[in-house]
Chains A and B, each alone.
Chain A
Amino acid sequence: MSDSTAGAVLVCDRLTKRYGDRLAVDGLSFAIRPGERYGLLGPNGAGKTTTISMVCGVLRPDDGTVLVDGQPAAEARGTIGYVPQDVAVFPDLTARENLAFFGRLLGLRGTALRRRTDEVLETVELADRATDFVVKFSGGLQRRLNIAIGLLAQPRLLVLDEPTVGLDPQARNGILEAIERLAAEGVATLYTTHHIDEAARLCTRLGIVDHGRLIAEGSPAELVAGGGSGQRLRVAVGHHSDALVDGCRALPAVVDVVAVDGHLDLTVDEAPAATAGVLALAERLGVPVTDLELRRPDLETVFLGLTGRALRD
């Protein structure tokens, strides 16, 4: 264990998981310090859930190790707050009954169980629905209960796997606020998402994953500053042209080009030169340019630059 991982709540070291021929997680390493809010940001299929499952001891790594507070994942079961991506509750029980059941598995009983149940219901703002059957809950309420169950153990590390997936903006905001309240209490969190705005809003440090590999890591500001080699030029075009893409790529001021539906996203060193070059090229090839946007680097441009893919739903 290196110095940077000493005292960490979670250390993942070269985690690897294969499904048949597919490498779902490919030598992933990262560490989370106490109180840190760490985000794994990556598109669908990047290997986030597989990583979370290994961290929480519900999936055995093919290779690599997970240490939770210095303990192997298998022995640390029950000490991590695990909030799975899919809502894993009993729909025909009430919210309180669900919490009581999972609380008992953790060794809570009697008044301690009752008190902790009330606390977590309060935290996720579900107290007034405690005795309602979960089957009647909206998606947002179900996700709150899903989080509440993860909080029962008063974990030092809370692991949330895409807790807002499939929610409308309002419900999503409710979840994010609940997580912010928790973060304010100093609980270390591991948060996975494919929403850049969520990652930027919640996380103090981010790991960007793609194809099971960690391709960049740092605070959002560090990533934006260091990740992009320049600005982003978005060129909306009338129709797709391979010649235009190749031509742009050959321009000296252009670092990279990605064709995304209806437009080109260019990573550029020198915005004026690149803009002039692209426009001239488009004119020569007869490709109409319908819009032109120069963006300062942000997480999305960083991600695009790193993966060549847009990160949207």
Chain B
Amino acid sequence: MVRASPPAQLVALVGNDVRHRFRDRPTLVAAALAPIVLALIASFSLSRLTRSFEGTYAIVDLDGGVVGEQLAAGIEGDARLADAIDLERIDTEAEAREAVDDGRIAAALVIPAGFSGTILQGQPAAITVVESPRHAPAAVVAGAIAEGAMASIRSDQLAVSTALNVEGGDLGGLGVGDLAVRVAEVAAPIAVVDVDLLDAGGAGPARFYGPSMAIVALLVVVQLGARSLLEERRTGVVAREVAAGVRPSVLLGAKALFAGGLGLASVLLTLATVALASGASWGSPVGVLVLSTATVAAFTAVATLITAAVRVEESASSIGLVVGLLLALVGGNFVPLTQAPGFLRSLSLATPNGWALRGFGQLGTGTPLLEAVGPSLLALLAFTVVAGLPAWALSRRLVTP
């Protein structure tokens, strides 16, 4: 009997792994169900959180002066805000209070009477927020808008007083109307809210949590390949395969293909589920595929290195879990890095998932594809090589006579 060609053996080995795994319920759950569940949790809880920012906000202009009007118009004219929230005018604070209390509007910004005069005299003034504890996120958003608006006013005040100083610091010859014109001239567009809060409408958080959950799913799934090699070595199947003439490289190649394929499937499944459930998008499908593949390769290498170094199935599982959790934590899978302190952001780049998340974050932001994913791809490739070479050498020893 002639033995099969290495490619035919590879196909037989991978095919058997696939068939074998489909008989294995827990693995199926890990590989297919877990990503979907993670994705759905991420999509729904986060889109609800996001939706809670949305709603109608009211402006109550009790001032009626030029500065108050300027401010209200600035808020109403902000394009980014308009994407996320609706705005309406309400005449009195009491009406606004009532509307907030019965939930018709999310929160109201009140420009107090005499606001323009106070500002024009160079005195500090404040916008008040009418809020309801039932709608805490809206209060945060309203507060951020108010704060942004006041910051903008303060810089206007500075500009006005500078302008006046240039003309000798004498208010005498200028009426209030002239001042208002000057204010209008120097007023910068009102920068209102922290961009992260309302990033890209409702899909912002899902855009982050999609890849993040995909990587968590990958962490679970990718260890299965290497562990099955240990198991088959223990049961003697590996010896039997070697006796049948399968080369170690073919054996390992098959396992890597299987583990990688399973990992890629779970990543894409997670991303697809998140995309369907939340409407999130990462722009280029090619970018997603390439970045996912690089991420899977890096994690396959890392998981194989751990498993092949530990060599005992049970210990490999627990150590793999601990390392996985650590990577997830440091890499920023649980907390978005944009809200993390600087040193954590740097530390995250010591992990493959940190780089992967960074790449996914850049995807679909309008950055050219290569620029968006290039650095992440290079970093992931480095992880693949650095972990993959010793992993290959160690696992080769496991299957070589």
Q: Is B12 an interface residue (CB 8 A)?
A: yes
Contact of B401 among A57, A106, A108, A153 (CB under 8 A): A57
Using Cβ atoms and an 8 Å threshold, which residues of chain A touch B4? 104-108
A58 with B239, Cβ < 8 A, contacts A77-B245, A105-B246, A106-B244 known: yes
Q: Are the C-beta atoms of A86 and B1 separated by less than 8 Å?
A: no
A interface footprint on B260-275 (CB within 8 Å = 1, 0 otherwise): 0000000000000000
**Cβ contacts under 8 Å, B12 to chain A:** 101, 104-105
B 321-345 contacts with A by CB, 8 A: none
Q: In this assembly, does B90 line the interface, its C-beta being within 8 Å of a C-beta of chain A?
A: no
**Count of interface residues, chain B, beta-carbon cutoff 8 Å:** 27
- Interchain nearest-CB distance for A172 vs B (Å): 20
Verify if B104 is at the interface (C-beta below 8 Å from A).
no
Residue of B nearest to A89 (CB): B237
A79→B1 CA distance, assembly (Å): 7
> B245 is contacted by which of A78, A87, A92, A93 (Cβ under 8 Å)?
A78
Contact with B along A222-266 (1 / 0, CB 8 A): 000000000000000000000000000000000000000000000
Whether the pair A93, B19 counts as a contact (CB closer than 8 A) is yes
Interface residues of B in 236-257 (CB under 8 A from A): 236-237, 239-246
Q: How many interface contacts (CB-CB < 8 Å) are there between A and B?
A: 89
In the assembled complex, the Cα of A87 lies from the Cα of B237 at a distance in Å of 9
**B8 an interface residue at 8 Å Cβ cutoff?**
yes
Tell which of B9, B237, B239, B244 touches A90, judged by Cβ atoms closer than 8 Å: B237
Residue of A nearest to B11 (CB): A104
A82 and B240: CB pair below 8 A?
Answer: yes
From B2, B8, B20, B244, give the contact of A102 (CB < 8 A): B244
Q: Decide: A78 and B239 in contact? CB cutoff 8 A.
A: no
Interface of B is mostly: helix
How far apart are A185's CB and chain B's nearest CB, in angstroms? Answer: 16
A154–B235 CA distance with the chains assembled, in angstroms: 24
**Provided the pairs A101-B16, A106-B4, A107-B3 are in contact, do residues A88 and B245 lie with their beta carbons within 8 angstroms?**
no
Tell which of A93, A105, A155 touches B3, judged by Cβ atoms closer than 8 Å.
Answer: A105
C-beta contact mask, B25-69 vs A, less than 8 Å → 1, else 0?
A: 000000000000000000000000000000000000000000000
Q: Is the CB of A310 closer than 8 A to any CB of chain B?
A: no
Is the pair B1, A106 in contact by a Cβ cutoff of 8 Å? yes
- Whole-angstrom distance from the CB of A8 to the nearest CB of chain B? 20
In chain A, positions 103-154 with a C-beta closer than 8 Å to chain B are 104-108, 149, 153-154
A106–B243 touching, CB < 8 Å = no
Residues on the B chain within 8 Å of A53, using CB: 239, 401
The verdict on A56 contacting chain B, using a C-beta distance below 8 Å, is: yes
Q: Tell me if B236 and A107 are in contact (CB < 8 A).
A: no
Residues of A within 8 A of B9 (CB): 104-105
Q: Please, which residue of chain A has its CB at the minimum distance from the CB of B237?
A: A88
Are B235 and A88 neighbours in the complex by a CB distance under 8 Å?
A: yes
| Residue A24 lies at the interface, judged by CB distance under 8 Å to chain B | no
> Given the interface contacts A92-B24, A104-B4, does A58 sit within 8 Å of B243 by beta carbon?
yes
- Pairs across A and B, CB under 8 Å, 28 listed: A56-B239, A56-B243, A57-B243, A58-B242, A77-B244, A77-B245, A78-B1, A78-B3, A78-B243, A78-B244, A78-B245, A84-B239, A86-B235, A86-B236, A88-B235, A90-B16, A97-B19, A101-B12, A101-B16, A105-B4, A105-B241, A105-B246, A106-B1, A106-B244, A106-B245, A107-B1, A107-B2, A108-B4
List 8 additional contacts besides A57-B401, A58-B401, A88-B236; criterion CB under 8 Å: A79-B1, A86-B235, A88-B239, A92-B20, A92-B23, A92-B24, A101-B12, A105-B13
**A-side interface residues toward B, CB under 8 Å?**
53, 56-60, 74, 77-80, 82, 84, 86-90, 92-93, 97, 101-102, 104-108, 149, 153-155
